[in-house]
A = this chain, B = another copy of it.
Amino acid sequence: MTTIRDVAKLASVSVATVSRVLNNSGYVNELTRERVNKVINELNYQPNSIARSLYKKETKTVGFIVPDISNPFFPALIRAAEDYLNEQGFTIILCNSDEDVEKEERYLSMMKQKYVDGVLIISDYLTAEQVKEAPMPILALDRTVDDDVPTVLVDNYQGGRTATKHLMEMGCERIAHIRGPEHIENANDRYDGYLNIVRDTDWFDDSYVAQGGYQLNQAKEAATKLLTENPSIDGIFASNDLMALGALKAAERLNFNVPHDVKIIGFDGIEWTKATTPELSTMSQPLYEIGKKAASLLVEIIQGNKIDQKKFIFPLTLEKRKSTER
């Protein structure tokens, strides 16, 4: 590896001068600059960013902690963040937490040691103190870590309401809900939105709600049970798209025609929803925008700029597709 010393020697200047032309800082004679640049090119010299980071205490790196990159919901978010961060000269360290607090803590501590400049996190588990103790700015997306942590997400409650209302408008009279994990707040919010619409109907009771754990197979079982035990169900609002697909599979196997016998709507708007037959209606999140906004806010904070709010709420779009047609 060639170092700044090599360049300095060959250009017959001091390392300070080389550093100046490297960083475009301070005064340096035009001719000297040219000479130095020539040597830099000749030697194909690239500054060692580790050394630079040690001095400057900044690494141009941000961490991104996601539950599980194999879950099709997350890649779009990551991709968007990476695109923006890369433009800004940052690099992403990716970590899968598996929704496990301990892993999150380990990753956070590792990031602290590696001096990342900031971290993006999708988590429901970290405590307010953990976030406050962290030496670098943290920004949450998709889920709320703590009210004090800047967060980018959608209005899950309204989304739950809209989805449920849509089913009603399409003629459903008995609407079941397959909910997500109880420890995930956005699942609770979507559930509350559903409740808000159905609570006061004459048919509603607890038996219309099942736990699907945000998982395809669990939702499939849940839907099978729901439809078997209560064949009058003619609408299902699943709290995410994976579970909507599970419901679709269940209906198929039970020979319920979708959308004729039972209509299904999901939540998130992942690409899969266009792959199914019938295509799935869904409350679509602007995933790319969310990821990008999160990244850009984080960069702002890293650069020391104050941001004017804590919560950034993006609009949901009701995608009406075949699975909820009349």
Mark A residues whose CB is within 8 Å of B.
1, 46-51, 53-54, 59, 61, 68-70, 72, 75-76, 78-79, 82-83, 86, 91-96, 109-110, 112-115, 135, 245, 252, 271-272, 275-277
Do A113 and B48 touch (CB < 8 A)?
yes
**Residues in B neighbouring A83, C-beta threshold 8 A:** 96
Do B78 and A69 touch (CB < 8 A)?
yes
Pick the residue among B59, B79, B86, B110 that contacts A50 (CB under 8 A): B59
Min distance, Cβ A127 to any Cβ of chain B, angstroms? 16
A223 and B112 alpha carbons, distance in the complex (Å): 51
Q: Which residue of B lies closest to A83 (CB)?
A: B96
Min distance, Cβ A70 to any Cβ of chain B, angstroms? 5
Do B76 and A70 touch (CB < 8 A)?
yes
Do B96 and A79 touch (CB < 8 A)?
yes
Min distance, Cβ A208 to any Cβ of chain B, angstroms? 25
Do B59 and A275 touch (CB < 8 A)?
no
**Residues in B neighbouring A109, C-beta threshold 8 A:** 46
Name, among A1, A59, A94, A135, the residue most crowded by chain B CB atoms within 10 Å (CB to CB): A94
**Residues in B neighbouring A86, C-beta threshold 8 A:** 95
Do A114 and B79 touch (CB < 8 A)?
no
A76 and B93 alpha carbons, distance in the complex (Å): 17
Do A78 and B94 touch (CB < 8 A)?
yes
Q: Which residue of B lies closest to A106 (CB)?
A: B86
Q: Give 11 CB contacts A-B under 8 Å.
A: A47-B113, A48-B115, A49-B113, A50-B114, A69-B69, A69-B82, A72-B271, A82-B96, A92-B93, A93-B94, A276-B277
Asked whether A54 and B46 contact (CB < 8 A) given A69-B78, A69-B79, A93-B93, the answer is: no
**Residues in B neighbouring A51, C-beta threshold 8 A:** 54
**Residues in B neighbouring A92, C-beta threshold 8 A:** 93-95
Min distance, Cβ A16 to any Cβ of chain B, angstroms? 19
**Residues in B neighbouring A114, C-beta threshold 8 A:** 49-50, 61, 91
A135 and B45 alpha carbons, distance in the complex (Å): 13
Min distance, Cβ A201 to any Cβ of chain B, angstroms? 31
Do B113 and A46 touch (CB < 8 A)?
yes
Asked whether A75 and B69 contact (CB < 8 A) given A50-B53, A272-B275, the answer is: yes
A13 and B49 alpha carbons, distance in the complex (Å): 32
A42 and B71 alpha carbons, distance in the complex (Å): 40
Min distance, Cβ A198 to any Cβ of chain B, angstroms? 28
Do A115 and B49 touch (CB < 8 A)?
yes
**Residues in B neighbouring A110, C-beta threshold 8 A:** 91
A86 and B102 alpha carbons, distance in the complex (Å): 14
**Residues in B neighbouring A94, C-beta threshold 8 A:** 78, 82, 92-94
